[in-house]
Amino acid sequence: MKHFVLIVSALAAGCAAALVLASAPKKGTPGMPTTKATTGRPSTAPLLKAATAFLTSLDAGQRARAGVPFDSDERLNWHFVPRERKGVPLKAMSEAQQKAALNLLKAGLSARGYQTVETIRALEPILREMENGNLGRDLGLFYVTVFGTPSAAAPWGCRYEGHHISLNWTVIGGKVIGDSPQFLGANPARVVAAGALQGTRPLAAEEDLGRSLVRSLDEEQKKVAVLGGPAPGDILTGAQRQATVQEDRGITHAKLRPEQKGMLIALIRRYADMMPRAVAERRLQKIRKAGLDGVKFAWIGGLEPGQGHYYRIQGPTFLVEYDNTQNNANHVHTVWRDFKGDFGRDLLAEHYKAHTHDHGHGVARSVPPHAAPGTAGR
């Protein structure tokens, strides 16, 4: 019942957002008044405060593990599989330090986003039982890493990452300039084992809204939107540092009926709203500015629950991928990518063209090694 309510609420929000996005003026943030507070980059005061508090809570050895130079290649070294990572894992922290780490996570996400991420982490003990005591499934093997020194002026960033979770933030001048890659997965996608979490579906709306949209298509629309062949075994971009543009197939927003446009916007918004409102609205504004009518939805695989399936939403600036094929279609992977803005690449490049900084290495440079493809120092 709670999943049905979530879907109805998301559809209502999507329909409203579709109307706003379609009728909004070219400038300003969709659905929000055009004010200085909403037209600029989202303020990171809470994120800065939480990152500083987290680092302060650590001892010297932990701070050395948690801190990585901002220009380090490690900042781009993201993944969603269980593995050892740079940073400090929750299991190596005291209770007070864990609280500070989770406060940092709260500062970077919306309330629903934080709840979703914590629910995904709570699946680890269930996986351990399913895999005969696999010690790699551990609530404490989620790492916090801070890149550079949290500052209201200089570039810095942070990452929260573990099995099925990778969240990345990049900050300059007190503003969030990068909030992706954003990867979230769930195994099991639906908890069937008896216990407190039985029936839990951390990414329920992501699946159900996508299926509702594809089922709403008429036969002619399905010929364009539903691609042939079996669903791929995982998201196609994997853990690429620079997301590749996928094949230009699927049904465009322009070819959808009004109610279907609302469903597509609701689905996009479901991913965007993992972040705080200002960040989510900036994401939607960027999509609208690039052209909603060119956004395409494509589906591969079965249309019934329990059948392996994959979908993607792709526009000029962004990509959403969803895959549910593993473990008898009870294992979800999702990702939000920004083709030019992952890790803040696009705005970092602009920033370094206009400024010269010493990033703690005693060397001034105009463009960091990983600022953007094709830029100096790559």
- What is the pLDDT confidence band of residue 43, given thresholds at 50, 70 and 90? low
User: What is the pLDDT, as a whole number, of residue 347?
Assistant: 87
Crossing angle of the two packed helices 258-272 and 277-290, in degrees rounded to 10: 130
Distance of CA 135 to the CA centre of its chain: 27
Q: Closest Cα partner for 127 from 195, 182, 181, 183?
A: 195
More confident residue, 3 or 301: 301
Cβ–Cβ < 8 Å for 170, 275:
no
User: What is the pLDDT, as a whole number, of residue 356?
Assistant: 58
User: pLDDT tens across 325-377, in order?
Assistant: 999 999 999 999 999 999 999 888 887 777 754 444 433 343 444 544 333 33
Using only C-alpha atoms, what is the Rg of the chain? Answer: 21
More confident residue, 367 or 322: 322
User: pLDDT tens across 198-225, in order?
Assistant: 999 999 999 999 999 999 999 999 999 9
Residue 15 has pLDDT above 60, yes or no: no
Residue 287 has pLDDT above 90, yes or no: yes
% of the chain residues with pLDDT over 90:
79
More confident residue, 347 or 296: 296
Dig out the tokens for 266 from the structure: 């609701």
User: What is the pLDDT, as a whole number, of residue 350?
Assistant: 83
Residue 12 has pLDDT above 50, yes or no: no
> How many whole angstroms separate alpha carbon 123 and alpha carbon 188?
7
User: pLDDT tens across 91-145, in order?
Assistant: 999 999 999 999 999 999 999 999 999 999 999 999 999 999 999 999 999 999 9
Dihedral over Cα of 183, 29, 43, 103: its sign? negative
Per the prediction, the chain carries an average pLDDT of: 87
For the entire predicted model, the pTM comes to: 0.86
User: pLDDT tens across 170-197, in order?
Assistant: 999 889 999 999 999 999 999 999 999 9
Residue 23 has pLDDT above 70, yes or no: no
Q: Are strands 296-301 and 226-227 parallel, antiparallel or unpaired?
A: parallel
- What is the pLDDT confidence band of residue 25, given thresholds at 50, 70 and 90? very low
> How many whole angstroms separate alpha carbon 137 and alpha carbon 318?
32
DSSP 8-state code for residue 203: T
User: What is the pLDDT, as a whole number, of residue 142?
Assistant: 98
User: pLDDT tens across 248-268, in order?
Assistant: 999 999 999 999 999 999 999
> How many whole angstroms separate alpha carbon 330 and alpha carbon 348?
38
% of the chain residues with pLDDT over 70:
82
Residue 40 has pLDDT above 80, yes or no: no
Dig out the tokens for 97 from the structure: 């330090």
77-83 mean pLDDT:
97
